[in-house]
Structure 1
Amino acid sequence: MTETPSLRRRITLAVLALLASLLLILGVAIDVMFGAQVRHDLHDRLVAATSRADALAQAGTVPQVLAAELNGASIRALLVTPDGATYGDPAISPDTDAGPGSVLPPPPRPPRPGPAGKPGPADGPGAPDLPPAPRPPPDETNTVVVHPLPTGGRVVLVADTTQSTTAVRELRELMIGAGAVTLVLAALLLFAVAHGALRPLERLTGLAQAITTGDRGRRLEPDRPHTELGRAAAAFDGMLDALETAEQQARQAAEAAQRAEVQTRDFLADAAHELRTPLAGIQVAAEQMVNTSPDASPAARRRTQLLLADARRAGRLVTDMLDLSRIDAGLPLRVVDTDLAGIADAQVERAAMLAPQVSVTRTGLDHFEMRADPHRVGQILANLLDNARRYTPPGGRITVHVDRSDGDDALLTVTDTGPGIHRVDHARVFDRLVRLDTSRNRDHGGAGLGLSIARALARAHYGELTCEPWETGAQFRLTLPRNTRRPN
C-alpha cells in the first residue's frame, strides 16, 4: 500500500521544525555570548579594582582614603588592615570567604539617635528593640572577591551583578516570546504558501475526478514539463493516453470476441440442426438391424449394438448443443401452473427404469404447485438424475427430495451414494465440457454439458442450482421461485 500523507502538513511541519531548530541554536548562541560578555566585563572591573587597590596600598594611602577610592561604579569595598581594623562598607563582613554569586548580609543598623541629635546607646542587652534593617531584594546577586594587599591586610570587593542577571533573564524571555510568535506567523505563512504551491496537484485531482465521470479527452498539458510537477503532469497525461489506447483495443477485442462468439454459436446451432437428421437415420437403421438380424453372428450383433449406442450418444450430444445455443440466444419459457412433485415422480420412475441396479426413491412433499415451464424443469431433473446414475455404483441409492424453502420457494435436492465431488470442484462442475474424472471412459460418462444446461435452465427460471457438501456421495440443490416471471 502506497503511503499518501498530507504534503501541505508535512511541508509545514518540516519547515517549522527546521525554523525552530535554527531559532533554538541562535537563542542558545546569543545567551552564551551575552553571558560570557557580562562575565568578561565583571572580571575586567574587578581586576581593575584590585590593581588600583595594590597601587594605592604601595603609595601609602591611608586606609580610609583607600577604601573610599575603591567604592563606587557598582563595586563596594571593605579594607581589613593587618591589625584587624576595617574601613569601608559596613555591610561587608570582614570574615567573608564567599565565592562569586553570593548574597551578602544587609549592613548593620545605624545607631539610634539620642536626644539633641546625639548618638543613642549601642546595641547590647540593654539597648531598646529597633526595627530590622531592610534586606536586599530577593533577586539581588553579588560577586565577592577577597584580594590580599602587598602591604599586608586584604580588601574585600563586592560587585553588584543584579542588573546583568536581570538583563540576561529578560533577554531569554524576549527570545522565547519572539521565537514563539515567529513560529506562529511562519506556520500561517507556510500554510498559505503551500496552498498556492500545491494548486497544480489539486488541478490534477480535479482532472482525474472528471475523467472518472466520463470526460476522457481532457489533459493537463504542463507548460514546464521539466519541473517536478511538470514531470508528474506529463506522466499523468501519458498514462491517460495509454489507458485510452488500451481501452479502445479492449473494446475492439471485446467486439471481435462477441462477433466470434455469435458466429460460433450460430455455427454450432446450424451444425447440430443439420446433424440431427442423419444421426436420427443412423439410429433408426441400427435399431432395425438389431431387431431384424436375430440369426447374425455374435460379432456382428456386437458391432450393431455398438453402432446403436454411438448413434444414441451422438444424438444426445446434438440435442445438448441445440439446447445450449437456444439458452445463449435467450431461451423462451412456457410458464404454466406446474406440480413439481409430479415432475419429480415421473423423472424418478424414468431413472429407475434406466438404472435397475440402483435404488431411486422420492421423498418430501406429495404436491407442490408453482409457476414454471414443466418441460424445462423436467429437463433439469433428468440431467441431475442422469449424472447421479452414471456415477452411483450398483446397489447404491439415489434420493430426490421435494420441499419448500423458508421463503415458500421450491427446494429440490438430488443425493447419491457415488464417489462424490471434491469441495474445490463444486463450482467448476457446472462449467461446459468439464469432466472431473478424466480417467473415466467417455462411453460411461457424458460430454460434460448436462450440469451446465441444468444450471442455465434454473437461472432462466430466476432460480439457482448448486453443488452442496455431503458426507458420502454428491448432493445438488435446485431452488426455484414459486412464481416465475414470464420473460418479455
Structure 2
Amino acid sequence: MTASAVSRSSSSSHSSSRQPADRRSPGRRWTLRRTLVVGTSLLVALAFVVMSLATIVSLRSFTLDRLDQQVTEGLSFASGRGSFENRGGSQPPPGQDQDQGQNADRPAPRIGSLQAVVASDGTVRTSDYTRSDGTQVQLTADQVALLQADVPTDRTPVTIDLGGDLGSFRVAAAEVDGTTVFAGNSDADVSATTTALTVILLAVSAATLLIAVIGLSLFVRRSLRPLDRVAAVAQRVSTLSLAAGSVEIPDRVGDADTDPTTEVGRVGASLNGLLGHVQTSLAARQHSEDQLRRFIADASHELRTPLSSIRGYAQLSLGEDAPMTPTQARSFDRIESEATRMASLVDDLLLLARLDAGQPLRRDEVELTLLAVDAVSDAQAADATHAWRLDVTDDLISVTGDENRLRQVVANLLRNAQVHTPPGTTVTLSLARDGAEAVLRVVDDGPGIDPGVAGRLFDRFARADDSRNRDAGSTGLGLSIAQAITEAHGGSIAVESEPGRTVFAVRLPT
C-alpha cells in the first residue's frame, strides 16, 4: 500500500496545532436576571433616597419656619415689655406689687425660650432661660456677649450655639428706644423631630427595599423562564455531533415559547426555524456524501476488472518471445506499471468508501508485537538506504481487530517515513502499553513536517506541492487510510513534529 504524499521538508509542530486555542475569558459577566434585579433595586433605592431627603428637608424647613414665627412673636412681646420698662421703669402700676406687675405684663414663658434686655450702656436688665421643668436661669455674661456679637438687630432669626447646657437656639433681636431686646427658642425640638423622621424613613425604606428586591427576584425569575427554556434547547443542540454522518435534531422550542407577539417568542420561533434549516442542510449534505461514496465504491469496483485485464495483456505481451521495438517494450512496461499503480489507487478508494460506509472489520486477536517485528523486517528488505530500528517491550501486546488492516496502518506509516525523509534517516518503530491502550510510534530524525501542510496532513490526496507530480509513486491517501482504519478500531492517530524529530503515534484499546 502506498504512503501519503506529504512532504516533510521543514520544521513544524503539529502537536501545537492540536492544543486548544488560548481563550482569555473576560471578567465574569452578570446574568440578565441579576442585572435586572440589581438595576431595578438600585433605581428603587435611589428613589427612596431622593424621597427621604426631600421629606427631611421639607419637614426641617417647615419646623424652622414655625420656630422662627414663634421667635418673632416672642421678640415682639419682649420689645413691647422693654418699651414699657423704659417708660415706666421697673415699678408696677399703683395697687400691684412687683410680682403681680410682672405677671400682668406677660404670660408664663414658653419652655425652652430665652429673653434678654440690654440697655444702651451695656447693662443687662434681664436674661432669662426657661428650662423644661419651668424654672428660669440667668444667662452668663459670656452668653449675653455672644448674643450681642452674633445676633443682628433687624428682627431676623439666626441660629447661634450658646454652649453649655443650652445648645443651639434660633434668636432674633431688635432695638427699642436704645435698648436691645433678644428673644429666642431652642431648636432641640426641630433636631429631635428631624432625627426621628430620618430614623423612621431609613427603617421603612430598608424594609421596603428588601421586600422589593425579593419580589423583583421572584418576578424576574418567573418572567425569564421562557428564555431559560429556549436557552436549554440551544444548549442541548450545541452538544450534538454535527460533523459527519446522519444527524437528527429532535429538540425544538415548545409552542408556548414561540409566540411572535413577545420578544422571547420571536427568539424561540427563530431558533426553531434555524434548527429546521440546519437539519435540512445536514440531510442534504449526508445525501450528497452517500451518493459520492456509492459512486466511488461502484466505480472502484467496476475498474478493478478492466485494470486486471490491462495488466494481464501487458504481461502477456512482454512474456512472448516475439520481436518488438524498444519503444514497444518500453510502452508495455509502462502500461503494466501504471495499471498496477492505478489498481492500487482503486483499492485505496474502495477501502475508504467501505470504511466511510461503516463496513464492519474483522474482530480477531492481533499480536501487535509480532506485527511490529514483521513490519520493520519488510521495511528493511524494501529499503536499505534508511536505518530501521525496532523498540518493543518483552511482553506481548495484543488488541482486538483486523490484522490485515492494522498491518496496513503500520506499513503506511513506515512507507511515509521512507518516502519523505532523505537516505540515512533513522526510523524507529516502538510499541508500548499506556494504561488500557497500546501505543505504536513511528519516530524519525528527518527534517520535519512542512507547516503549510501540517493542518491537512490526514486529508485525502493531501500533497505538499501544488504540482501534480507523481514521481514519488504516492497517491496522497496513505495517512488518511491509516487514520480511517485506526478510528474504525476505536483508536486515534496523532503527529508531533519539529526539526530532527517527527512522531506518529497510533493508540489502540487493548
Q: TM-score range by the shorter chain?
A: 0.7 to 0.9
Q: Superposition pairs for residues 348-427 of structure 1, below 5 Å?
A: 348-365=376-393, 368-371=396-399, 372-393=401-422, 395-407=423-435, 409-422=437-450, 425-426=453-454
Distance 1:256 1:61 in 2: 119
Match of 1:307 among 320, 335, 344: 335
Residue in 2 that maps onto 1:159:
183
CA 1:388/1:305 → structure 2, altered by over 3 Å: closer, same or farther? farther
Residue in 1 that maps onto 2:70:
41
Residue in 1 that maps onto 2:59:
30
Distance 2:444 2:122 in 1: 130
1:20 paired with 2:49, answer: yes
- 8 A contact 2:52–2:198 mirrored in 1: no
Distance 2:324 2:346 in 1: 31
Q: SS at 1:405's partner residue?
A: strand
266-275 or 380-389, which deviates more: 380-389
1:61 paired with 2:88, answer: yes
Match of 2:288 among 243, 255, 260: 260
Distance 1:259 1:472 in 2: 45
Let me know the Cα RMSD of the aligned residues. Answer: 4.0
How many positions carry a matched residue from both structures?
433
Specify the code of the residue in structure 2 equivalent to 1:64: Q
Q: Deviations over 1:185-235 (max 9, x none)?
A: 53255347646864761452465378578563422476xx8xxxxx5x2x3
1:279: how far off?
A: 0.8
Larger radius of gyration: 1
1:318: how far off?
A: 0.7
Task: Output the TM-score relative to the length of structure 2.
Answer: 0.71
Residue in 1 that maps onto 2:212:
190
Distance 1:86 1:2 in 2: 73
1:201 paired with 2:223, answer: yes
**Structure 1 segments unaligned to the other structure (5+ residues):** 105-135, 226-230, 483-488
Distance 2:390 2:107 in 1: 126
1:35: how far off?
A: 1.6
- 8 A contact 2:116–2:127 mirrored in 1: yes
Match of 1:270 among 291, 298, 309: 298
Distance 1:419 1:380 in 2: 22
Match of 2:460 among 432, 435, 458: 432
Match of 2:265 among 231, 234, 237: 237
Specify the code of the residue in structure 1 equivalent to 2:183: A
Q: SS at 1:161's partner residue?
A: strand
- 8 A contact 1:64–1:87 mirrored in 2: no
Match of 1:171 among 193, 217, 221: 193
Task: Output the TM-score relative to the length of structure 1.
Answer: 0.74
CA 1:343/1:236 → structure 2, altered by over 3 Å: closer, same or farther? same
- 8 A contact 2:428–2:444 mirrored in 1: no
1:246: how far off?
A: 2.9
Specify the code of the residue in structure 2 equivalent to 1:279: L
CA 1:305/1:293 → structure 2, altered by over 3 Å: closer, same or farther? farther
Specify the code of the residue in structure 1 equivalent to 2:506: L
Distance 2:495 2:221 in 1: 57
CA 1:478/1:8 → structure 2, altered by over 3 Å: closer, same or farther? closer
Distance 1:265 1:211 in 2: 33
Q: SS at 1:430's partner residue?
A: coil
Q: Percent identity?
A: 25
1:15: how far off?
A: 1.6
1:318 paired with 2:346, answer: yes
Match of 2:505 among 466, 477, 484: 477
